[in-house]
Structure 1
Amino acid sequence: MTHPRRTAPPGSAPARPWLTPLLCLLLLLGISGCAGESHGRPRVVVTTNILGDITRNIVGDEAEVTVLMRPHADPHSFGISAPQAASLERADLVVYNGLGLEENVLRPVEAARAAGVATLAVAEGVDPLGYGPGESADALDPHFWTDPERVAKAVDLIAGQVVEHVPGVDASAVGKNADAYSAKIGELTVRMEEEFGRIPPRKRQLVTNHHVFGYLAQRFGFRIVGAVIPSGTTLASPSASDLKSLADAIEKAGVTAVFADASQPDRLAQVLRRESGIDVDIVPLFSESLTAKGEGAATYLEMMRANTAAITAGLSTG
């Protein structure tokens, strides 16, 4: 017996028996994708590019690390966009230098902390130094990274905070990364001691664009003669009397080189040389920012090796 053939009602689409399972599959994929967008990878946001490089070596593949400061930027004056400020409040951990270094970024960092985001002010936890004469008595120097031994302390601090506050990271992997990077920092310290050992003690005297090498001076036995900008920030300006006092100190100490930050114009150091008539070399250093890859200081370790070579060459001659 034959059955009459069923036809679809007028205006309706023909039946597709495979459609229902396909829709179910697409629905499941959509749910999975939405869940991934909702949670995403754990995220660490870092303010400066020097700390960004250090943090990336510690975190490895365990989390996404976002660095706000671009290569060659000045940490005292760089700013961030509204979306970058918002990203701080979506982070699992914010790593920043502290002690007033990132002057234009501190407010967004404080807003993230108020919103419940874990934050780490690294410089505050590495036994910071005072600036000494020329700054207020209670001012602490934020430029700790010029001392590799303090950077080793920073590695331990950052690793501990990553394990504690960033969800889903493998504590063992973070620990291994931190240990491996600390070993490289130890090698850097030995290399710096060996190279600086070639500088006669009487010539271990530093004049810089601003007060940035106090930690290096303490660690490796240098004396800070002065700075073209007699301040811990590049946002200050020297007076004529400041330049005259520094020129007198340079002549008295027999200094032969002034070290200017490579990411900033060396105009002030050139003015010092021209106005005072003293004969000094202007030697560029990578003091406060990393560079892009291939430009001499793309990583913290590369920056410190380059600075060590430049300081040694600048003070060993003459």
Structure 2
Amino acid sequence: MGTVFILTSDLRGDTVRIRALGPALPVMAALLVAATACGGSSATGGAGGTGGKKLKVVATTTQVADFARNIGGDKVTVTQILKPNVDPHDYEPSPADIQAIANADLVVKSGVGVEKWLDQTIKSAGFDGTVVDTSKGVAIRKGNGEEEEAAGDPHIWHNPKNAEIMSRDIAAAFEAKDPADKAAFEANLKSYTGKLEQLDAWIAGQINSLPPARRKLVTNHDAFGYYIDRYQLTFVGSIIPSFDTSAELSGKQLNSLVAKIKATGVKAIFSESSLPPKTAEAIGRQAGVKVEAGEDSLYGDTLGPAGSAGATYLEMERHNTTTIVTALKG
């Protein structure tokens, strides 16, 4: 037996969500899949090809959707599940997500447990096509042993060298599904890899402009470990003491963080675009340091909307680096 879902709306009444009710026949999901007239992967021009049609790609996070667009170019259409500035750790899939997956040729995910909702959504959609795990080949940072960190640190994209691996994983999957367009995918991958290499060198130069004693970060949650490791910063602490934003900071931990900020001479606390800044601002007042929030928030779990400083992966990492360096120079 599967899981039955009911439709609910948020407090504004403009977002439909699915809520699991326990073991039962997935009636709603079945109806949605039937409405697409093609459960599972989309009809194509035969195995291993698309018959000249664009690949239908569903990408989970804003980051992997951006990678997929860069690699696929005009050979793919990308449906992005997570919207800008939406926390991926606490997402609830919609009927539209199920329908998009049911129609897809490939589903591209970030992996390492960030999309905890995806497996059930794929099952409800009846999708039996290719799922591309872009974390394949990435060296995963280990968690602290707690349940929400069991899979390791999922924020792999914050190291551009990992973004290169993720892009290669996507290109390989596209080429396998649509070998006729292999040359286009390879050319796009080469071009984008060059941009990622330039980004990596630029970030390193910016961070190296900081005195070593000022290369210290306090963030909203523990989302920047790969960035910190790559560019040799010091992680002092996070307001949410976990990779997962659902964790909570105890009063004791809060007081400890304030004490560490004062003791280490941290120059700023960095809020994140997908998280409310109130707790960060409260800690900043207690510690006597500036809080980077609003337009100066870091993009941690998500890209920003079109036209923002974090609209693409390349723009996001440049914005984050500029914000960090400017604040820490203080």
Q: 1:155 aligns with which of 149, 167, 170?
A: 167
CA distance 1:223–1:230, change in 2 (3 Å): same
Aligned to 2:301: 288
**For 1:134 and 1:217, how far apart are their aligned partners in 2?**
21
**Aligned residue runs from structure 1 range 30-179, under 5 A:** 41-109=54-122, 115-132=127-144, 138-165=150-177, 167=178, 169-179=180-190
**TM-score normalised by structure 2 residue count:** 0.78
What code does the residue aligned with 2:311 have? Answer: A
> When the two structures are aligned, how many residues end up with a matched partner?
277
**How many Å apart are 1:82 and its aligned residue?**
1.5
CA deviation string 1:9-32 (max 9, x = no partner): xxxxxxxxxxxxxxxxxxxxxxxx
Describe the SS at the equivalent of 2:87: coil
CA distance 1:71–1:244, change in 2 (3 Å): same
**For 2:228 and 2:146, how far apart are their aligned partners in 1?**
16
Describe the SS at the equivalent of 1:87: helix
**How many Å apart are 1:132 and its aligned residue?**
5.0
**For 1:132 and 1:259, how far apart are their aligned partners in 2?**
22
Asked whether the equivalents of residues 144 and 150 of structure 1 are also in contact (C-alpha less than 8 Å), the reply is yes
**How many Å apart are 1:111 and its aligned residue?**
5.2
Describe the SS at the equivalent of 2:253: helix
**How many Å apart are 1:181 and its aligned residue?**
0.3
**How many Å apart are 1:102 and its aligned residue?**
2.2
CA distance 1:62–1:72, change in 2 (3 Å): same
**How many Å apart are 1:104 and its aligned residue?**
3.2
CA distance 1:107–1:227, change in 2 (3 Å): same
Describe the SS at the equivalent of 1:282: strand
**For 1:254 and 1:135, how far apart are their aligned partners in 2?**
32
Unaligned residue ranges in structure 2 (runs of 5+): 1-41, 45-52
**How many Å apart are 1:130 and its aligned residue?**
1.4
What code does the residue aligned with 2:181 have? Answer: D
Asked whether the equivalents of residues 134 and 230 of structure 1 are also in contact (C-alpha less than 8 Å), the reply is no
**How many Å apart are 1:139 and its aligned residue?**
4.0
**For 2:193 and 2:246, how far apart are their aligned partners in 1?**
33
Aligned to 1:190: 201
CA distance 1:57–1:124, change in 2 (3 Å): same
CA distance 1:169–1:265, change in 2 (3 Å): farther
Describe the SS at the equivalent of 1:125: coil
**For 1:254 and 1:106, how far apart are their aligned partners in 2?**
44
CA distance 1:168–1:63, change in 2 (3 Å): farther
What code does the residue aligned with 1:117 have? Answer: G
Deviation larger for 211-220 or 95-104: 95-104
**How many Å apart are 1:174 and its aligned residue?**
0.3
For the aligned residues, what is the CA RMSD?
2.1
Aligned to 1:303: 316
Deviation larger for 301-310 or 83-92: 83-92
**For 2:55 and 2:167, how far apart are their aligned partners in 1?**
19
Q: Does 1:206 align with 2:246?
A: no
**For 1:174 and 1:196, how far apart are their aligned partners in 2?**
33
**How many Å apart are 1:131 and its aligned residue?**
3.4
CA deviation string 1:138-165 (max 9, x = no partner): 5410001110011011111110011113
Aligned to 2:12: none
Asked whether the equivalents of residues 58 and 79 of structure 2 are also in contact (C-alpha less than 8 Å), the reply is yes
Q: 1:222 aligns with which of 215, 226, 233?
A: 233
Describe the SS at the equivalent of 2:301: coil
**TM-score normalised by structure 1 residue count:** 0.81
Deviation larger for 121-130 or 69-78: 121-130
Asked whether the equivalents of residues 148 and 243 of structure 2 are also in contact (C-alpha less than 8 Å), the reply is no
Structure showing greater Rg? 1
Unaligned residue ranges in structure 1 (runs of 5+): 1-36
**Aligned residue runs from structure 1 range 227-306, under 5 A:** 227-274=238-285, 277-283=286-292, 284-306=297-319
What code does the residue aligned with 2:300 have? Answer: S
**For 1:56 and 1:118, how far apart are their aligned partners in 2?**
17
**How many Å apart are 1:78 and its aligned residue?**
2.5
Asked whether the equivalents of residues 89 and 115 of structure 1 are also in contact (C-alpha less than 8 Å), the reply is yes
Residue identity (%): 32
Describe the SS at the equivalent of 1:199: coil
